[in-house]
């Protein structure tokens, strides 16, 4: 239990930060994929793509995704003990598995929240 941290578990700080980086890439990809479905003729969206509008329109989803990603990455070894083990971090292939898992976590959580946003009023942003 020498490498254990209450904040990060068994994951070293550098690895945790890189995992957050890959999860962020997954979130950005999911946002860009979802933005392609927008109605360009709607008065609620700009005709030309706007990154700032994308952030403003999805800030609740982005914030919730970020929080869920942090919690998932912290507790992934406990939730999936056979798939993600501490011993994986000592080999390059094991590290790749963790990083790809982080990318998927970011992408899938954001995609799920975008789906929930479309189907309910849960994460809708009021436009004025």
Structure tokens at 19: 């995992």
Q: Is residue 22 part of a domain?
A: yes
Q: Is residue 87 part of a domain?
A: yes
| For helices 59-79 and 13-35, angle between their N-to-C axes, nearest 10 degrees | 140
Beta-carbon contacts of 47 under 8 Å, excluding residues fewer than 6 positions away, are 40
Q: What is the pLDDT of residues 51-105, one digit of tens each?
A: 888 888 888 888 989 999 988 888 877 776 666 666 677 778 878 888 898 899 9
DSSP characters for 5-74?
BTTTBTS-HHHHHHHHHHHHHHHHHHHHHHHTTS-TTSTTS-SS--HHHHHHHTHHHHHHHHHHHHHHHH
Q: Is residue 66 part of a domain?
A: yes
Q: Report pLDDT for 40.
A: 74
Q: Report pLDDT for 128.
A: 58
Q: Is residue 55 part of a domain?
A: yes
Count: domains in the chain: 1
Domain boundaries, position 84: 13-36+49-119
Q: Is residue 7 part of a domain?
A: no
């Amino acid at each position: 239990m020498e490498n254990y941290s209450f904040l990060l578990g068994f994951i070293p700080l550098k690895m945790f930060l890189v995992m957050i980086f890959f999860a962020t890439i997954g979130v950005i990809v999911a946002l860009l994929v979802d933005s392609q479905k927008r109605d360009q003729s709607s008065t609620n969206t700009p005709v030309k793509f706007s990154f700032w509008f994308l952030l403003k329109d999805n800030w609740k989803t982005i914030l919730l995704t970020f929080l869920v990603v942090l919690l998932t990455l912290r507790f992934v070894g406990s939730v999936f003990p056979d798939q993600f083990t501490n011993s994986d971090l000592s080999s390059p292939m094991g590290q790749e598995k963790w990083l790809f898992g982080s990318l998927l976590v970011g992408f899938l959580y954001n995609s799920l929240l975008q789906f929930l946003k479309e189907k309910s009023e849960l994460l809708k942003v009021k436009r004025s």
